[in-house]
Amino acid sequence: MVRDMLRRFVGSAILTAPIILYSPLGTSLFGRELAPPYGLSPGLLAFVLTSIVVWWGGWPFVSSAARSLRQGELTMMTLITTGILVSYVYSAAVTFGLRGEPFYDAAAMLTAFSLLGHWMEMRSRFATGRAVEALLKLAPPTARRVRDGQEEEVPLEAIAVRDVLAVRPGDIIPVDGVVIEGSSYVDESMLTGEPVPVAKGPGAEVVGGTRNQQGAFRFRATKVGADTALARIVAMVREAQSSKAPAQRLADLAGKYLVIVALAAGVVTFVVWLIFGAQGVSFALSAAVAAIVIACPDALALATPTAITVGVGRAARAGVLFRNATVLEAAAQVDTVVFDKTGTLTEGRPSVTDVIPAAGVEETEILRLAAAADAQSEHPLATAVVAAAKKRALVVDPPSHFEAVPGHGVQATVGGRTVLVGNRKLLERNGVTPGLEREAEGLRAGAKTALYVAADGQVLGLIAVADRIRPTASGAVSALHDLGIRVLLLTGDSRATAETVARTLGIDDVRAEVLPGDKAAEVRRLEEQGRRVAMVGDGVNDAPALAAATVGIAIGAGTDVAIETAGIILMRDDPADVPAALVLARRVHRKIKQNLFWAAIYNLIAIPLAAGVLYPSLGILLKPAWAALAMSASTVTVTVNALLLPRVGTLRSP
């Protein structure tokens, strides 16, 4: 479609050149009247060439206007087509007997310039779309499936969930899955924008469309077809680029009224010059056509979608996905960012740092019982405890009973003993006196989480778990402060641990010891205070809070639930992408306002100028051809302004 528009523009431009050359405009440009070769009639030559330009080059405008009229609508194509056909039909009538002066040059130049403007608009849209569409082509057409120990090459469509697939050095990974054998490094830059290859081994997740660098491995498919991360990214970007922001709906409404105003301005201009002017029908018609053409709301219609299309496309290529245009506009208004701690500001891979036993208790006994109680829990802290027990090669008995207590810990029956592993509140609600307070406070002061371990009503000791703060977290918080954004930490951790992390990163306020179910209420409480809140989390216990916020941001692709509830998905595990996404949203919003402002100013100045208000005093009248050029220039200006949006990589904090 873009190539077709370019072909029509080039052909029309070539045919328009001789039309201008042998027209009154050509005479004024070259200082003398030029005649066509071989004794051809200038009028007939212009008629033939303009007919080709109008009916072939301008056919997209004519056919679109006809469809709109059949549906009872007036669009910008109606204005362009009206200007082209009025100029063409009147000039043809003059050529074949009507008294007056033809202006084929106006019809031809109007068509050519309109084609140029629309080609540039379409090219900018398709350019950003092509980069996203190219992602779909990253998935290979075939994959190596492993059956009965043998590899077989099968079409990608034949792959099913739980199939085992083999990947060799240099291969494109066909679908999403989990590595079960072997190790390698994988280039995930197409997904995250991060150029450094990522190490993969047993248990690591791999994503379809990413490239294996070195080493060979086998993995089990977990998502195929439209469920893969790659397919979902493309679907989300398509939705975002085609969605309409509130500002665009207002611009569309204004554009519809502007079409009516433009047609009315053309009629009034023609009648006024015909009645009160002494220049005749040709002059009146020329002014009317110029007024109609120059008022075409192309720039107004493109002001919002062009900026959104470019912004969403550039963000997607850097691993920042906006769900739709409404989210993009809402993100530009955010004044408060709330971070979850674990997996968001920290790496999400906590490990046991200390085991502090009570008097007469062995460290191994504490760790063995705690690991047994935590064995069935999916919480990151429980995973750390189990991993520490495995590292020490402890024999861990499976629990005969297990119960997770959200926001507090777990309780289980291990070898006939009732075991509690969790925070102080877990012990208190079970009637156990915590003890070891001085030791627990010391751990919290070091930004460690203190887990109490109790059995049969007695505290056995403490297990300290720490999660490293991400290297870019401090820079991300600083960048948000530079934007005038207030930063809060929302966590289920103890207040002492949370405040230590907040002081380290320069976070403004802390909401600690918040149960998972209460996080959404905390976000709503901030919004009731008039704050426009962005909630940032990795999806573990965060989904309700992400949905409650003005803008939910899932970091590191999050969980499936987080992706469904978040408005912005960050494919990288990097807090620096949070301020980068908000800066981009603000830049897009600014571009939209700039484009709408200039489109409005253009119409306020251009319509009276084209109608000839300066002609009586200064002798200035805008010809239809120059009106078409001005209209195209306004369209090009809006498009180029949108293309000046920065790339996300340049917005990330160091």
Euclidean distance between CA atoms 587 and 578, whole angstroms: 14
The SS3 of residue 250 is: helix
Catalytic residue of the set 171, 340, 467, 577 = 340
How is residue 311 written in tokens?
């912004």
* Rounded-to-integer distance, Cα 499 and Cα 504, Å: 8
**For residue 577, which of 480, 510, 504, 501 has the smallest C-alpha distance?**
480
CA pair distance 334, 583, nearest whole angstrom: 10
Smallest Cα–Cα separation from 639: which of 160, 93, 123? 123
* Residues 6+ positions from 241 with CB-CB distance below 8 Å: 125, 128, 129, 132, 308, 309, 312, 313
CA 574, distance to chain mean position in Å, is 17
- What are the CA-CA distances from residue 398 to residues 413, 416, 585 (Å)? 9, 11, 50
Q: Rounded to whole angstroms, how far apart are CA atoms 399 and 415?
A: 7
Q: What are phi and psi of 319, to 5 degrees?
A: 85, 20
Residue 526 CA to residue 533 CA, distance in Å, equals: 7
Beta strands in 104-163 (DSSP E): 142-147, 150-155
Please give the structure tokens belonging to residue 214. Answer: 């070195």
Tell me if residue 526 falls in helix, strand or coil: helix
**Could you give the CA distance from residue 33 to residue 285 in angstroms, rounded to a whole number?**
24
Q: What are phi and psi for residue 417, nearest 5 degrees?
A: -105, 140
Compute how many other C-beta atoms are within 10 angstroms of the C-beta atom of residue 253.
10
Q: How many residues can be counted in the chain?
A: 654
Look at residues 382, 377, 407 and name the one whose alpha carbon lies nearest to residue 517. 407
- Distance, first Cα to last Cα, the chain: 41
3-state helix, strand, coil in the chain (%, to 5): 55, 20, 25
Q: How far apart, in whole angstroms, are the C-alpha atoms of residue 102 and residue 92?
A: 7
Nearest Cα neighbor of 577 from 392, 329, 360, 317 is: 317
Burial of 601 (0-12, 13-18, 19+ CB in 10 A): exposed
State the Cα–Cα distance between residues 475 and 263, nearest whole angstrom.
Answer: 55
Q: Where are the alpha helices (DSSP H) in 483-576?
A: 495-505, 519-528, 543-548, 560-565
Does residue 493 have an active-site annotation?
A: no
Catalytically active residues are 340
